[in-house]
Amino acid sequence: MINELVKSVMEDVIKWRRHLHQIPELGNDLPETSAYVTEQLDELGVSYVKGVGIEHAIVATIEGGKGPGRTLALRADMDGLPVVEKTGLDFASTNGKMHACGHDAHTAVLLGVVKALNSIKDQLAGKVVFLFQPGEEISAGAEPMVKAGCLDGVDGVMGIHVGNISAEAEPGDALFSTGAMMACLDKWEMTVHGVGSHGAYPHGSRDPVVMGSHIVAALQEIISRELNPTDPGVITVGVFNGGSAYNVIPGSVYLEGTARAVNHETREFIAKRIGEVAESIAGAFRGSVDYNYTFGAPPVVNDEKFTLNVMESARKVLGEDKVKLMKAPVMGGEDFAYYLEEVPGTFVFLSTPLAIDREVFPHHNSRFALDEAYFDSGVALFLQATLDFLNQ
């Protein structure tokens, strides 16, 4: 039955994906994208609610015809990136933005699952909730939807991410993790204060450029000398700004970066130590630091039992050789983590790379591309997992 259902929707899935690819929008402001999704839901006769936590969020629902049962939530993120597309595809975006992370495919695949399940809803017991989410790229979509009750009454949640996130996967593989899969998505910033001076008279300064340089180097020692080597962590300095003239020592410099960890204890430790190290170094040079750490999306941690069940479902439709357990988490972040903090669930990486000029490009790149030949695997996996979950 699954194969027939998948075949019946794939023409639409590709059509939907290509349309969405041409109209990428950013963050939580997705008026055209949201309108297109609701237009398809209206044509299918599927009920939905708009504005769940965010103006352009959509929560659709299919009630099984066999009465009460369990409820499964399936999620697709819909936002794009501020990237100018350079893929050369016939349906490339021309509005200065790009679906450079595959969210157009996530949305189209989930619409395909909606259409397929709606056609057999009389055979289902329980309920399926479809979360069409804005704001994943800015980590501002899932949390407000959860707070607004999108998971009320939900017993499990599942999401898929296409592309080539992990080097462990071959094209068409579905990668799973029974625990930590992705890192937190945190941001830190600091202003290092010193005393400015003419560059020819450094003894009259307390040079914040020197302080900041020592801080940048010392932050890496937190990772290499304070964390257990088997416990992954990242501290990256992405911004170092200061000064306005070649011969003037500024009075302050500004640093900004990200920190990543796959468990909460390490995350808290890194947040604390960045501040302590920076303040100690600045103090040694008779300077000071204003430090702020922002906790973003938490680590993506899958539920083991739920994940093992979905892996069994995946083997039925993808084959044993295409279903794999990850050896190590990746340090990228995903706000799907907020759903996993509320109900048992799993996130799946579906490898779908497409080479442009014989080269496969990473996510968020202007030449990132997806092989549509593998989209049917996403639809099949969602469908089989849903039917197995509702029938358990």
Domain with residue 31: its CATH number is 3.40.630.10
Task: Write the single-letter amino acid at 131.
Answer: L
Residues 63 and 208 in one domain: no
For residue 317, how far is the Cα from the chain centroid?
A: 25
3 state SS of 60 = strand
Counted domains in the chain:
2
Q: Would you say residue 364 has pLDDT above 90?
A: yes
Q: CA dihedral defined by 296, 51, 303, 188, rounded to 10 degrees? A: 0
Residues 131 and 24 in one domain: yes
Per-residue pLDDT at 43: 98
Residues 156 and 175 in one domain: yes
d(CA 190, CA 254): 6
Q: Would you say residue 320 has pLDDT above 90?
A: yes
Nearest 5 degrees, angle CA 119-CA 121-CA 124?
A: 140
**Phi then psi for 193, rounded to 5 degrees?**
-100, 135
Residues 9 and 45 in one domain: yes
Domain end, chosen from 280, 297, 314, is at 297
Calculate the alpha carbon distances from 106 to 70, 74, 120, 294, 336 in Å: 24, 11, 22, 28, 13
Q: Please state the rounded mean pLDDT for residues 69-92.
A: 97
Q: Please state the rounded mean pLDDT for residues 114-143.
A: 97
Q: Please state the rounded mean pLDDT for residues 356-378.
A: 97
Angle between helices 264-284 and 208-221 (to 10 degrees): 150
Q: Please state the rounded mean pLDDT for residues 33-58.
A: 98
Residues 201 and 307 in one domain: no
- Are 145 and 61 contacting, i.e. CB atoms less than 8 angstroms apart? no
Q: What is the mean pLDDT of the chain?
A: 97
Give the confidence band of 167 by pLDDT, cuts at 50, 70, 90. confident
d(CA 185, CA 139): 8
pTM here? 0.94
Residues 311 and 271 in one domain: no
Task: Write the single-letter amino acid at 237.
Answer: V
Q: Please state the rounded mean pLDDT for residues 121-126.
A: 95
Structural domain boundaries enclosing 249: 185-297
Residues 23 and 165 in one domain: yes
Per-residue pLDDT at 392: 82
Instruction: Return the structure tokens found at 342.
Output: 């509320």
Instruction: Return the structure tokens found at 62.
Output: 């299919």
pLDDT tens track for 195-247 = 999 999 999 999 999 999 999 999 999 999 999 999 999 999 999 999 999 99
Q: Please state the rounded mean pLDDT for residues 15-24.
A: 98
For residue 356, how far is the Cα from the chain centroid?
A: 23
Per-residue pLDDT at 337: 98
Q: Please state the rounded mean pLDDT for residues 254-267.
A: 97
Give the confidence band of 1 by pLDDT, cuts at 50, 70, 90. confident
Q: Would you say residue 282 has pLDDT above 90?
A: yes
Residues 314 and 374 in one domain: yes
Per-residue pLDDT at 343: 98
Per-residue pLDDT at 334: 97
Q: Would you say residue 256 has pLDDT above 90?
A: yes
* Strand-strand pairing, 197-198 and 180-182: unpaired
Domain end, chosen from 297, 326, 354, is at 297
d(CA 107, CA 33): 10
d(CA 158, CA 181): 14
Per-residue pLDDT at 100: 98
Residues 111 and 124 in one domain: yes
391 or 47, greater pLDDT: 47
Strand partners, 107: none
- Are 239 and 257 contacting, i.e. CB atoms less than 8 angstroms apart? yes
Residues 177 and 201 in one domain: no
pLDDT tens track for 136-165 = 999 999 999 999 999 999 999 999 999 999
Q: E strands within the chain?
A: 47-50, 58-63, 71-77, 127-133, 156-163, 174-176, 180-182, 185-193, 197-198, 233-242, 248-249, 252-261, 288-297, 300-301, 323-325, 345-351
Domain end, chosen from 269, 297, 325, is at 297
